[in-house]
Structure 1
């Protein structure tokens, strides 16, 4: 358990939150390795291509999947997606945003997309 601006880094990915709880498993050689990281409060995940924020999250370290909930924002470049929940595959780079409507609420997924400017020669 880590509290207060806690962070965990693996390769080029970082997860930060007010509280991180790590679950470990024993590998074939008897060494402990992280299996899952639970994040609570001000969750921030950074990758080379994205910044993802939410209220709570679960990071499956082995499958490299993150599930975030509560005011989720995914920012990639100047583009931003907002929703209630997100599933992020850190291995493939594919993110899936889920609306509050699918969870029984009234909010929709929202997005802001900034087109790239054409180069003039």
Structure 2
């Protein structure tokens, strides 16, 4: 989820914030969403579905897995339209060239934003990696903002260097 295009680090107090481009730009968020899990509960009056165990959510090239997920939806003309997906427990988001892991994730379909929280590890093919406490993906621009959290955490990274022989 990180494309090495000269990331810019900005310090806010003791917490670091970094911004970089991702391979998620141009994701078709209007495509259908396929969901599977071990079990689930549908609360149609509340417009929620709760999925438990081996949750897998797929939308085009975007895949999200977790232990649990809550889907919030509106029913329009008899058809449910997903507004938001909250995932918890061993969350992994993958795209063709990137993977992000965290404890929690929120996918706001209306804003086209995925927010990941808690021990975020962002890995791009080739071994480039960034660690943070929070990651916010803007699926429209392809930008990912990471920060070290409110407790003075830091953003850390490891980037590969091309062979210059």
In 2, the alpha carbon distance for the partners of 1:45 and 1:91 equals 17
Q: Is the 8 A contact 1:54 1:69 kept in 2?
A: yes
Candidates 116, 127, 150, aligned match of 1:68: 116
With normalisation by structure 2, the TM-score equals 0.64
For residue 62 of structure 1, report the CA deviation from its aligned partner. Answer: 2.5
Query: What is the alpha-carbon root mean square deviation over aligned residues?
Result: 1.6
In 2, the alpha carbon distance for the partners of 1:14 and 1:92 equals 19
Q: Is the 8 A contact 1:7 1:20 kept in 2?
A: no
Q: Looking at both structures, which has the greater relative contact order when contacts are Cα pairs under 8 Å and sequence separation is at least 6?
A: 2
Matched, 1:107 2:156: no
* Match of residue 64 from structure 2: 15
In 1, the alpha carbon distance for the partners of 2:96 and 2:79 equals 29
In 2, the alpha carbon distance for the partners of 1:92 and 1:115 equals 26
CA deviation profile, 1:31-69 (whole Å, cap 9, x unmatched): 211110000110100112310110011101232211111
For residue 106 of structure 1, report the CA deviation from its aligned partner. Answer: 3.2
Classify the secondary structure of the residue corresponding to 1:63.
coil
Q: Is the 8 A contact 1:53 1:72 kept in 2?
A: yes
Matched, 1:93 2:142: yes
Classify the secondary structure of the residue corresponding to 2:96.
coil
Structure 2 residues not aligned, in runs of 5+? 1-49
* Match of residue 39 from structure 1: 87
Q: Is the 8 A contact 1:73 1:82 kept in 2?
A: yes
With normalisation by structure 1, the TM-score equals 0.86
For residue 30 of structure 1, report the CA deviation from its aligned partner. Answer: 4.0
